[in-house]
Structure 1
Amino acid sequence: MTDCGCDKAKQDLEEYLRNELCREDAADIREHLANCDGCSDEAHLSVVLTEVVQRACKETAPATLRTEVLLRIRAIQATH
């Protein structure tokens, strides 16, 4: 294993976080992240943002909002 450097780590960070890299490349990035605070912070931020977006996508709109949107759509369709 060798430290891949910041450029390579940043280029492949998303694939690394999604476990889409080959074992050797993942090991190189893992080693780099263990020794580079800047890239480690960027990886952490990416993980946090992904988790926030995933949680937001699981939320559902209130039933009243759904009803209101459907009523407005039907009203617009009726006039066209």
Structure 2
Amino acid sequence: MTDCGCEKARQDLEEYLRDEVCKTEHSDIKEHLATCDACRDEALVARTLTDVVARACRETAPEELKNLVLARLRDAQAAH
């Protein structure tokens, strides 16, 4: 294994976090993140953001809110 460096780690970070890189690249990026605070911080932010977005996509709005939004959309369409 060889440390791939900041440029390569950041270039492939999204694919790395989704396990879409080959084993060799995965190992190299993992090694780099273990030794580079800046890239590790960037990876933490990216992983946290991805997790929050995924969690938000699983949530559903309350029925009352859905009805309110739809009513306002209908009102706006009727006004035009």
TM-score for the superposition, normalised by structure 2: 0.85
User: What's the counterpart of residue 29 of structure 2?
Assistant: 29
Q: Between the two proteins, what is the percent identity of the paired residues?
A: 61
User: What's the counterpart of residue 3 of structure 1?
Assistant: 3
User: What's the counterpart of residue 18 of structure 2?
Assistant: 18
Task: Between 8-17 and 47-56, report the one with greater CA deviation.
Answer: 47-56
Tell me how large the CA RMSD over aligned residues is: 1.5
Question: 1:69 deviation in Å?
Answer: 2.5
Question: 1:70 deviation in Å?
Answer: 2.6
User: What's the counterpart of residue 40 of structure 2?
Assistant: 40
Residues 8-59 of structure 1: CA distance to partner in whole angstroms, max 9, x if unpaired? 0000000000000011111110110111111011111111111111111122
What secondary structure does 2:34 align onto? helix
| Aligned counterparts of 1:75 and 1:52: Cα–Cα separation in 2 | 33
What secondary structure does 1:60 align onto? coil
- Which 5+ residue runs of structure 1 have no aligned equivalent? none
| Aligned counterparts of 2:69 and 2:19: Cα–Cα separation in 1 | 39
Number of residue equivalences: 80
- Which 5+ residue runs of structure 2 have no aligned equivalent? none
